[in-house]
Amino acid sequence: DAGVIQSPRHEVTEMGQEVTLRCKPISGHDYLFWYRQTMMRGLELLIYFNNNVPIDDSGMPEDRFSAKMPNASFSTLKIQPSEPRDSAVYFCASSPGLEYYEQYFGPGTRLTVT
Amino acid sequence: TQLLEQSPQFLSIQEGENLTVYCNSSSVFSSLQWYRQEPGEGPVLLVTVVTGGEVKKLKRLTFQFGDARKDSSLHITAAQPGDTGLYLCAYSGGYQKVTFGTGTKLQVIP
DSSP of chain A: ----EEE-SEEEE-TT--EEEEEEPPTT--EEEEEEEETTTEEEEEEEEETTEEEE-TT--STTEEEEEEETTEEEEEESS--GGG-EEEEEEEE---TT---EE---EEEEE-
In this complex, is the C-beta atom of B33 within 8 Å of any C-beta atom belonging to chain A?
A: yes
**Are the beta carbons of A107 and B42 separated by less than 8 Å?**
yes
Mean pLDDT of chain A: 94
Res. B58: pLDDT tops 90: yes
Q: B71 vs chain A: nearest CA distance in angstroms?
A: 17
Three-state SS at B95: coil
pLDDT value at residue B95: 64
Res. B96: pLDDT tops 90: no
- Quickly state the pLDDT bin for A15 (edges 50, 70, 90): very high
The span from the CA of A37 to the CA of B39, in Å, is: 13
pLDDT value at residue B50: 87
pLDDT value at residue B3: 76
Mean pLDDT of B46-54: 90
Sign of torsion, CA A6 B107 B78 B69? negative
Beta bridge partners of A65: A79
Res. B2: pLDDT tops 60: no
- Quickly state the pLDDT bin for A97 (edges 50, 70, 90): confident
- A86 to A15, A69, A75, B71: CA distances (angstroms): 10, 21, 19, 33
Q: A91 vs chain B: nearest CA distance in angstroms?
A: 7
Measured between beta carbons, which residues in chain B are less than 8 angstroms from residue A105? 42-44
Mean pLDDT of chain B: 91
- pLDDT tens digits, residue range A55-79? 999 999 889 999 999 999 999 999 9
Res. B94: pLDDT tops 60: yes
pLDDT value at residue B1: 52
Phi first, then psi: give them for residue A35, nearest 5 degrees: -125, 160
